[in-house]
Structure 1
């Protein structure tokens, strides 16, 4: 992550401290933000809460991958174990415990960081919204605080409605009500954490909301071309500046490509991805044989299937996915993590889906490179925001199967607002399951073969163009990045 002209921390005037959430989907955008800040001449220290996602990264200094980035462990003995990092079932209880564990040692951690900064000064702190433990500490120390929101602006509005409208706990009779405050949204599309303990959910959401609304500014991993109405509503309500500089993975890549070695060429069949622009911590090693396999298939023919880093599939869900892919008749690339199911046999899955002839199963894929590949025609996703931004950035239509929290509202945005995908859902509950193999095959056909799918592809490519425009020198995301940099300088 070294950039031309980057200097050591002690030679910088402005020193920024970043506090990421150690879950994979949150670490990634924070590291892309760190890269952007480094490119603008700031010194950056990342507070490290050890977790499996950090194992791929050497956090000593100097680090050949990140020579301008400094790391500070929050404290000895504070870490996320393997089970906690796989927090898909009750992410709210996980966040509550993690924030509680980090709060006390954080002040000493900041003292260590400040002792190595120029004149002992920390210019400001930027934390992931779900890591709210720094809020009171930095307020006591009079350190300016910015918050990074890693999901949609619509999700923030949806979370606000949960309490205001009495939607907690979820009530079955109200799930299909339309929301006047969020056009095209139903109650069932709100970020309901029905799989989490209610007390934990309410406490965490209150603290996240307080941390966001009392910050000096909000950095948002979104774009005005996607969410201008929601951003306008938030700006009218909050009295703090908002900087929508997404998609962070693309903006970071645009900056990094200017200094990447000349021999890092974008290979034929990719639409703009380069591995040199993708240095982030990863829990799992990427299987690059996926790309060679994709090279063997015609343009737009492959269904890419991945449900992110937290979703755990049941055996029945795994069976329905297998049968749906088999019935679709389409070649597929399916990511199945090392522990995605309870006890199903992977060999049985391979046989059921006829994998040896027209499918490939892998434990983890280089997703941005996969989505940029010409052969991928559909992305079956859990509707995580990182995955959704990556898919829209490459103009790939989506089949959305949401699981928890913000995934529901994102799924609805994709299908009902931007109209670049379909939802897999049932009529009698708030979940998008149970899955049915025949319905899966039918949905894939609608996206890959029917006129409906061709219209989705046209809209997806038009949306990709809008995102590309936002990333140009005069585009909205670049302009908001410039404003963010100027704002941080003013704080210091």
Structure 2
């Protein structure tokens, strides 16, 4: 048994919301003297390199390797499920050889632990068969993890049937039934489960992934215990090691960050700017996009609006600005250095889709939220932001299912004028930062590294 430093092989599912937290965690492990081999797909590495310039990892403890995702160069990788099936069909056979090659380069420090994000559970099976320790890093909230963890119980209780659909018998009289996944957790709407809207194939994958992930000795969560304490009573395997905040790294970005917005922010008054971003996957309906544009004109405040480059030529018309849109008070960018923006003194509030990475980054910056969830786990995150932590407010849709420009203006005015929300935001920020610097999360990290030895 070799007794060198721990050597982690980190394998994210190749979407921004998975690559980002695992890259942050990898940099943290390297900072603690561990050796890290980070596995991109060939396509993802090409994207990350063209966005950030060549990967420049300080020292030699962090290395990048690649495997092909099995798709052709012209295939549409914005179709996440197409990528998922291709990877599951091609990578498992190739990973043992990659591990062998990495180990041959440093026989004294061979791979001691494989860490994967959700959807890459097959790599846990490969590592397990090779006698290597395995662990999961879950990229969403611990509460989202609990909701998936609870699927067998939800089926047993008749809340959902085995297809993941809602079971409209006497046990579930309304679609909007609210349930509690565990005592102490917020109530959630049954139609806001993370797998909502997926077909049976996807749901079956979810259930299979849950079973495979049980091989992992730890489920590492990018959160702190105090954010969602009840979630950690579900399983002793859940280990909070967040918030993952390696601020100076853009090594995981798939788009080039427009840093001119930081100089622009320097010219604005303190707490005056509205920051708007919907993450790396959300696609907005064209009518809603136009209403948002007009709403930003209406609020009469400077704004930074991230309008992501389209992954798909067919959806380009979604980003058609209405002819009456002025936009002169704001700055529109394709992709932005989000953590730096959120920590800038000029930011007043964050209009967010409530993806977990954005949620953690906003909380750590002490910024109030205007919540605009678009899909899946984002509704769970919104319930924490608005109802548990009380550091944000939600936007309401009109009878046509659109969030109107008037609603946007009304809620921004309400949010920036609410001193209680501002004070609570700073309190949660302090709690989060204390966990990084010598608090429970940093103790858990040390415990995890010692386990990997």
TM score, norm. by length of structure 2: 0.87
The answer for the alignment partner of 2:214 in structure 1 is 213
2:11 to 19, 41, 46: 19
Q: Structure 1 residues 359 and 352, CA, compared in 2 at 3 Å: closer, same or farther?
A: farther
Q: Structure 1 residues 317 and 206, CA, compared in 2 at 3 Å: closer, same or farther?
A: same
Over the residues paired in the alignment, what is the CA RMSD in angstroms? 2.9
Residues paired across the two proteins, number: 434
Work out whether residues 124 and 145 of structure 1, in 8 Å CA contact, stay in contact via their aligned partners in 2: yes
Rounded to whole Å, the distance in 2 between the matches of 1:344 and 1:113 is 45
Tell me by how many angstroms 1:163 deviates: 4.8
Residue correspondence of structure 1 range 95-244 to structure 2 within 5 A = 95-118=84-107, 121-165=110-154, 166-167=159-160, 168-170=164-166, 174-182=174-182, 183-188=185-190, 190-196=192-198, 198-235=199-236, 240=237, 242-244=238-240
Work out whether residues 170 and 192 of structure 1, in 8 Å CA contact, stay in contact via their aligned partners in 2: no
The answer for the alignment partner of 1:447 in structure 2 is 415
Q: Structure 1 residues 64 and 471, CA, compared in 2 at 3 Å: closer, same or farther?
A: closer
Tell me by how many angstroms 1:394 deviates: 0.7
Q: Which runs of 5+ in 1 are unaligned?
A: 1-9, 254-276
Tell me by how many angstroms 1:463 deviates: 0.4
Residue correspondence of structure 1 range 404-483 to structure 2 within 5 A = 404-426=375-397, 433-449=401-417, 453-473=418-438, 475-483=439-447
Deviates more, 1:46-55 or 1:318-327: 46-55
Rounded to whole Å, the distance in 1 between the matches of 2:296 and 2:190 is 27
Q: Structure 1 residues 80 and 325, CA, compared in 2 at 3 Å: closer, same or farther?
A: farther
TM score, norm. by length of structure 1: 0.81
Rounded to whole Å, the distance in 1 between the matches of 2:399 and 2:83 is 29
Work out whether residues 65 and 279 of structure 1, in 8 Å CA contact, stay in contact via their aligned partners in 2: no
Tell me by how many angstroms 1:280 deviates: 1.9
The answer for the alignment partner of 1:383 in structure 2 is 354
Rounded to whole Å, the distance in 2 between the matches of 1:346 and 1:482 is 45
Q: Which runs of 5+ in 2 are unaligned?
A: none
Asked whether 1:355 is paired with 2:323, we answer no
Q: Structure 1 residues 424 and 213, CA, compared in 2 at 3 Å: closer, same or farther?
A: farther
| SS of residue matched to 2:228 | helix
Rounded to whole Å, the distance in 2 between the matches of 1:407 and 1:80 is 31
Q: Structure 1 residues 353 and 43, CA, compared in 2 at 3 Å: closer, same or farther?
A: same
Tell me by how many angstroms 1:330 deviates: 2.1
Rounded to whole Å, the distance in 2 between the matches of 1:177 and 1:185 is 10
The answer for the alignment partner of 1:248 in structure 2 is 244
Rounded to whole Å, the distance in 1 between the matches of 2:342 and 2:318 is 28
The answer for the alignment partner of 1:259 in structure 2 is none
Superposed CA offset, 1:322-352 (max 9, x none): 1222222222111111228834486744x53
The answer for the alignment partner of 1:488 in structure 2 is 452
The answer for the alignment partner of 1:55 in structure 2 is 47
| SS of residue matched to 1:17 | strand
Rounded to whole Å, the distance in 1 between the matches of 2:76 and 2:132 is 30
| SS of residue matched to 1:466 | helix
Work out whether residues 103 and 111 of structure 2, in 8 Å CA contact, stay in contact via their aligned partners in 1: yes
| SS of residue matched to 1:435 | coil
Tell me by how many angstroms 1:468 deviates: 1.8
Tell me by how many angstroms 1:30 deviates: 0.8
